[in-house]
Amino acid sequence: MGVPALVDAKRAHAAGVQRLLESYRTVPDGAAIRLAKPTSNLFRARAKNTGTGLDTSGLTGVIAIDEEARTADVAGMCTYDDLVAQTLPHGLAPLVVPQLKTITLGGAVTGLGIESTSFRNGLPHESVLEMDILTGTGEVLTVSPTEHADLYRAFPNSYGTLGYAVRLRIDLETVKPFVALRHLRFHSLSDLVTMMGRITQTGRLDGVAIDYLDGVVFSAEESYLCVGVQTDTPGAVSDYTGQQIYYRSIQHDSGVTDDRLTIHDYLWRWDTDWFWCSEAFGAQNPRVRRLWPRRYRRSSVYGKLMKYEQRFHIGDRIERLAGRPPRERVVQDIEVPIERCAEFLDWFLDTVPITPIWLCPLRLQDDTGWPLYPIGPRQNYVNVGFWSTVPVGSTAGATNRLIERAVRDFDGHKSLYSDSYYSRAEFDELYGGENYRAVKNRYDPDSRLLDLYAKAVQRR
C-alpha cells in the first residue's frame, strides 16, 4: 500500500470512528446499543431489533498492510473477502480465514471463526495483536495482552456484549499461489479421526508438511480428510465457481484423489455453495445452476434467501401441504476433544438425520486461555459442523436440546452463533460466567450492551 493510499485509509478510518462515536452519543440514556449491520452470519431466532443502530459506514476497510512485519490493521467490520483481496497480492493471508466471504474480522474474533489452518494456527482471535474496542461506556480502548488484558481475553465469544471491535491489528502469514489437495477416503470414522490426530500432532503426512486440514462425513462408511499443501508449481487448476460443486469433488471410490486450486479459490471453496446448503435453493440442480448467475452463487445470497424463507415460513407451508410436520432448524458447530470425536460422530449419525457433516481440527496456541470459551490450550479438538433441519419434536428445539446435552456429555462446547437452550447456571458454568460478569461490570457498568446470556439464549 503506497504512502498516499495509506494516509487516505487512516483518515477514512479516523472519520469512521468519529461518526461511530457521534451516533453513540445520539442514543438516549438507558436505551440499548446495537450496530447497524447490513449482513449477519448469526442463526439465532432473535427478537426484532428496535432503535437506531450505530453508524459503522466508515469501519469496513483495510487500514494498512505491513509486508515486512506481516501484519494488517483492519477495521472491525471489514469482511475477510475484502481483506484477502488486499493481502493476496502481497503473498500474504490471515492466519485463519473463516469459510464465508461476508464474515467480518470483528465478528470472527468476538464470535469464534475457524478454518482448515486451525489445527496449526488456532482460532482467529489468537492472531490479534491488539484491538480498539468501543465499550458500553462510549470509550474506545486499545486492548492487548498487556493493556486492558481482561477485556482482551474476554472479548472472544462475547458476541458484542462487551464492546465492538473498531480496529484490529492481526498477524499475517506468507502463502503461495496454489494449493495441492489430496482427498483421503475412510470406511471407518475411528480410522479417520486417528489419522486426523496424527496430522494435527505432527503437522505432516507421509513426511510432507501440511498447510490445510479438514474433513467431510457423508456416512459412517464414507468419510474424507482433505489435506492441502501450498505450492509455487504452475499448472491446471479446478474451478468450482461454475457448474462443478466442490464438496461433490471430494467423493470417490478409490483411496486417494488429487486436486489443485488457486489459493484464492481454495480459501473460498466453501462459499460458492454455502458448503452444501445451496442445495436447499435448487442451486445444485444442473438446469437451475446454468441459469443462476455466477455472481449470485455465494453464501450471502443464500443467507438472504434463508431469512426470507424464515420470515414467511415457506418451508413449513410446503411441509404442511405435503402432509408432513414442520421442521426444526439444526444449524450448529460444536467442539469435542479429538479423543471423543469418533464416539460423538457415531452417536450423532445414530440419532440425528443430518449429513454431510463438516470436521475441522483445532489446537489453541495461546497457553493463557480464553475465559469465555474455556477449551484447553495445546489440546486437540475437532469442530463438528452440521446445518440442516429435522422434523419437529414434542418440545420446542427438541433436537437442539438433545445435542446440547450430548456435547456436554462428550466433554465438548457449542458455539453460540445459533439457537441455544441452556439454563443460566449451565451457561455460566460453560462460558465463564463469573469472569464475564467481572469484565462486564468494569467496561459496561450501565449495561448499555445486551447481556451475553440474554443475547445467546433468551432473545427469541
Task: Please measure the distance between the N-terminal and C-terminal CA atoms of the chain and give it in whole angstroms.
Answer: 44
The sign of the torsion formed by the CA atoms of 203, 208, 212, 215 equals negative
Instruction: Please give the average pLDDT of every successive group of 10 residues along the chain, which has 460 residues.
Output: 69 94 89 70 55 83 97 97 98 97 96 96 97 96 98 97 97 98 98 98 97 98 98 96 96 93 98 95 95 94 87 76 86 97 98 98 93 91 96 89 97 94 96 97 94 84
Beta bridge partners of residue 157, listed in sequence order: none
171 within some domain: yes
pLDDT attached to residue 409: 97
* pTM, to two decimals: 0.94
C-alpha cell at 241: 465457481
Question: Three cell numbers at 342?
Answer: 469418533
Angle between helices 299-312 and 314-321 (to 10 degrees): 60
Q: What is the pLDDT of residue 458?
A: 77
Element (H, E) at 94: strand 92-94
**Could you tell me if residue 437 is inside a domain?**
no
Peptide bond before residue 356 is cis, with ω within 30 degrees of 0: yes
Q: Is there a domain that residue 219 lies in?
A: no
In-domain check, residue 347: no
Looking at this protein, which amino acid is placed at residue 192?
L
Asked whether residue 307 is domain-assigned, the answer is no
Q: Given this model, what pLDDT does residue 312 score?
A: 75
Q: How many CB atoms lie within 10 A of CB 92?
A: 20
Domain of residue 38, CATH code: 3.30.465.10
Helix or strand run (H / E) with residue 414: strand 413-414
User: What are the grid coordinates assigned to 426, written together?
Assistant: 449451565
Q: Is 213 exposed, middle or buried (0-12, 13-18, 19+ CB in 10 A)?
A: buried
User: What is the 8-class DSSP label of residue 388?
Assistant: E
**Which residue segment(s) compose the domain that 52 sits in?**
3-175
List Cα–Cα distances, 234 to 7, 230, 231, 263, in angstroms: 36, 11, 8, 12
Give all strands of the β-sheet with 256-262 in edge-to-edge order: 256-262, 178-186, 222-231, 212-219, 357-363, 380-391, 327-337, 413-414
Evaluate whether residue 40 is within a structural domain: yes
- 380 lies in some domain: no
Q: What is the full DSSP assignment across 18-59?
A: HHHHHHHHTSPTTPPP-B--S----B---PPP-SPPB--TT-
Own/partner long-range contacts of 45-50 (Cβ < 8 Å, ≥24 apart): 45/419, 45/460, 46/459, 46/460, 47/459, 47/460
Q: What is the pLDDT of residue 33?
A: 82
CA distance 339 to 356: 21
Look at residue 23 in the predicted model and tell me its pLDDT. 92
Tell me if 100 is assigned to some domain: yes
> Total structural domains in the chain?
1
